[in-house]
Amino acid sequence: MINRLGHFKQHWHTLKREQRSVSSLRGISTKFVGQQVAIIGIKENTDWSFVRGTRVVFSPKVAGHLLQRRSYKVSASWFTSSQIASGVFTLGTAAVLPFYTLMVLAPKAKLTKRTMESTIPYGALGLMYAYLLYLSWTPDTMRLMFASKYWLPELPSIGKMFSSEMTLASAWIHLLAVDLFAARQVYQDGLENEIETRHSVSLCLLFCPIGIVTHMITKSLTKGMENTEQSLE
């Protein structure tokens, strides 16, 4: 009996030391990247008998949700430069087609006249062009544009500069804006002088200089025919 009491005291002191070491683990809060661990406690159960002696069982006590994920907002752009160039290229091309359609199919309609007096399409194309120009601009852009010693553009340098899809898309938007402006001038001049302009406006869509020349020829022939008719009268 005395031996069992001595054995019990020895285990009792061992139990106290283990409890002091375990108590330091209570209330720990650990953070990981993107996760947060809830407070972990220790639950101990003491079981003692004269036959088996003292036995301490430790079981972890986890509060609520062990892992709590944090939500992050995606701040990186999901679009590449090629996708941006292709998207603006398609958008700009589709945006000018309704104006050409009105000038060709209904040149004398009030809707066409009112629409072609607006400056909104040129402002929109100008913003697209400025945006693409900003994205495509590099420290070598000026050097490629004025590569010769006389500060004049050279064809090999310009070809190298337009090897970029972004630069090529900006040049296409530039052409669309200029071509639409020229087509509007041809259209309004035809209304003022009562000259057929549908063929010239159509050519301005893709072949703007040819469309302008065609309008000049059409205007010259129309006036010549009018002068001939007046002289015959």
Measured CA to CA in angstroms, residue 19 lies from 16, 59, 157 at distances of 5, 13, 80
Q: What pLDDT score does 95 carry?
A: 94
Distances from the Cα of 89 to the Cα of 9, 63, 111, 137, angstroms:
87, 56, 27, 17
pLDDT in tens, 212-232: 999 999 999 998 888 787 777
Q: Which residue has the higher pLDDT, 122 or 23?
A: 122
Does residue 124 contact residue 177 with C-beta atoms inside 8 Å? no
DSSP state of 54: E
- In angstroms, the CA 183 to CA 8 distance is 106
> pTM for this one?
0.63
pLDDT (tens digit per residue) in 142-156: 787 777 777 788 888
The pLDDT tens digits of the residues spanning 29-62 come to 444 444 444 444 544 455 544 444 445 444 555 4
pLDDT of residue 145: 79
Mean of the pLDDT values across residues 80-92?
A: 91
Cα(26)–Cα(44) distance, integer angstroms: 12
> Which residue stretches of the chain are H helix?
2-23, 81-105, 110-116, 120-136, 141-145, 155-161, 165-193, 198-206, 208-232
Q: What value does the mean pLDDT take over residues 175-204?
A: 96
Amino acid residing at 109: A
Q: What is the mean pLDDT of the chain?
A: 76
Express each pLDDT in 107-140 by its tens digit: 999 999 999 999 999 999 999 999 999 998 888 8
> Which pLDDT score, from 0 to 100, does residue 141 have?
80
- So what's the pLDDT on residue 102? 97
CA distance 193 to 204: 19
Give CA–CA dist 129/123, Å, rounded: 10
pLDDT for 91 equals 95
- CA gap 179, 177 in Å, rounded: 6
- Residue 14's pLDDT band, with cuts at 50, 70 and 90, is low
Alpha carbon 52 to its chain's center = 72
